[in-house]
C-alpha cells in the first residue's frame, strides 16, 4: 500500500463493490485482472458486459480514460472521463432470437417511480432504495443526477 496509484485503485474498487452491494447486483459482477482493452489511453478500471446465455461475447465495453482528451488538446492535459460503447448489432441479434422464443418480450414497460436526488441523501442510500423497489417488482428509473 506504499504505492499511491495502487492504493487509489484499491480504494476505487472498494467503492465500486460498496455501490454494487447497495444495489444488490454484486452477485452479477466478476473481476478479471487479466482483461485488457488494447488502447493505451485507459487510465483506470476497464470493463466488459456480457449477457449470460448468449454466445456472442461482450455486448458492451469501456472504462476510464483520463488521457484521451490530452491526445486531442495537447500533451499532458488530463480530464476525468469514463465511457463505454454498446454493440447494438449484437444486442438486436439477441433480442430478435429471444422475441422469436417468447412474444411477451416485445412489450412496453411502464415506469412506476423515478428516484430524484433531493437534499443531502447519499447516493448509496438512493441505490439501496432502487434495489429494494426492484426486488418488489416496482419499476423504477433514476434521474440522471442519481
How confident is the model over 65-91, as pLDDT tens digits? 888 877 787 667 788 888 889 998 888
Mean of per-residue pLDDT scores for the chain: 82
On the question of pLDDT at 146 being above 60, the answer is no
On the question of pLDDT at 59 being above 80, the answer is yes
Q: What is the pLDDT of residue 112?
A: 86
- Which letter, b or e, does each residue of 48-69 get, where b requires 16 or more Cβ atoms within 10 Å of its Cβ? eeeeeeeeeeebbbbbbbbbbe
On the question of pLDDT at 113 being above 80, the answer is yes
Strand partners, 86: 60
Q: Which three cell numbers stand for residue 108?
A: 412496453
Q: How confident is the model at residue 26 (pLDDT cuts 50, 70, 90)?
A: very high
Amino acid at each position: 500500500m506504499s504505492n499511491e496509484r495502487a492504493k487509489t485503485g484499491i480504494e476505487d474498487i472498494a467503492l465500486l463493490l460498496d455501490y454494487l452491494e447497495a444495489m444488490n447486483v454484486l452477485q452479477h459482477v466478476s473481476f478479471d485482472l487479466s482483461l485488457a482493452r488494447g488502447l493505451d489511453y485507459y487510465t483506470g478500471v476497464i470493463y466488459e458486459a456480457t449477457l449470460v446465455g448468449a454466445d456472442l461475447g461482450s455486448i458492451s465495453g469501456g472504462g476510464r480514460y483520463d488521457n484521451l482528451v490530452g491526445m486531442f488538446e495537447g500533451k499532458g492535459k488530463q480530464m476525468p472521463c469514463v465511457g463505454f460503447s454498446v454493440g447494438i448489432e449484437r444486442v438486436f441479434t439477441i433480442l430478435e432470437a429471444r422475441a422469436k422464443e417468447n412474444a411477451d418480450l416485445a412489450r412496453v414497460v411502464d415506469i412506476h417511480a423515478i428516484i430524484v436526488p433531493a437534499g443531502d441523501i447519499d447516493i448509496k442510500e438512493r441505490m439501496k432504495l432502487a434495489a429494494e423497489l426492484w426486488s418488489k417488482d416496482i419499476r423504477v428509473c433514476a434521474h440522471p443526477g442519481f
